[in-house]
Amino acid sequence: MTLPPFQLLVDAHWHDVARLAAALAPPGEAQDVSQQAWTQAYAAYPRLRGADNLRSWLLTITHRAAMDAHRARARRPDPVTELPEPALAPATSAAADVSASAESDPALWAAVAALPVRQREAVALRYVCDLDHATVAAVLTTTPGATRRLVSDGLATLRRALAPTSTDLAPSTAHSPAHSPDSPADSPADSPAEDRS
């Protein structure tokens, strides 16, 4: 079996790899994760036996590279007592998409970052990369049913985290003329009687 040239694979799927890396990688490491994924894919490409679903294969590599980055970050010491201002590097267009979304709705992205790892991965693959549940299941090495459940639980958690509180929804009646403290409360005697003939 002949595989297409690797450059064709890069041209066809670089955006998906960059978006998934931006969604799953630790802060500030999306480009490193993307590059790591491409390096690993390039090294493994000659040994690949089939070209049936190269996109899923690449996204699996990207997912694993992002998880490796999280593990490496957890082992890395952080000796600074005060965090420096983050350097603003020019973003690629795919990372810029996610960055623009994060800037426009920081509460949403903070809630996504707070999701459990498997739910965050499933939601990112499903909605950031726009993959169907079967492909998400292949990337996460699980079943489509389990993927649906992970996405559903993740979305439910996001809805709860982002839902306005009941005090935000309750209308203010403190200054309403109908219910002001100076006006008498409505009573059944004040309402017109129904004609019961």
Global confidence as pTM: 0.49
Query: Of all residues in the chain, what percent carry a pLDDT higher than 70?
Result: 70
Do the Cβ atoms of 143 and 137 come closer than 8 Å?
A: yes
Same domain, 12 and 51: yes
Say how many domains are in the chain: 2
Report the pLDDT value the prediction gives residue 74, as an integer from 0 to 100: 78
Residue 131 clears pLDDT 80, i.e. is over it: yes
Cα 134 to Cα 120: distance, rounded to the nearest angstrom: 17
Assigned domain for 178 exists: no
Assigned domain for 55 exists: yes
CATH of the domain at 17: 1.10.1740.10
Residue-wise pLDDT for 107-127, tens only, equals 888 888 889 999 999 998 898
- Say which amino acid occupies 60: T
Same domain, 64 and 133: no
User: What confidence tier does 93 reach under pLDDT thresholds 50, 70, 90?
Assistant: low
Of residues 21 and 181, more confidence is placed in 21
Assigned domain for 68 exists: yes
- How many Cβ atoms from other residues are within 10 Å of residue 102's Cβ? 16
Same domain, 63 and 111: no
Assigned domain for 11 exists: yes
CATH of the domain at 144: 1.10.10.10
Assigned domain for 185 exists: no
Enclosing domain of residue 37: 1-74
Nearest Cα residue to 112 out of 137, 122, 55: 122
Nearest Cα residue to 139 out of 84, 66, 71: 66
Same domain, 63 and 121: no
User: What does the block give as tokens for 181?
Assistant: 């403290």
Same domain, 57 and 116: no
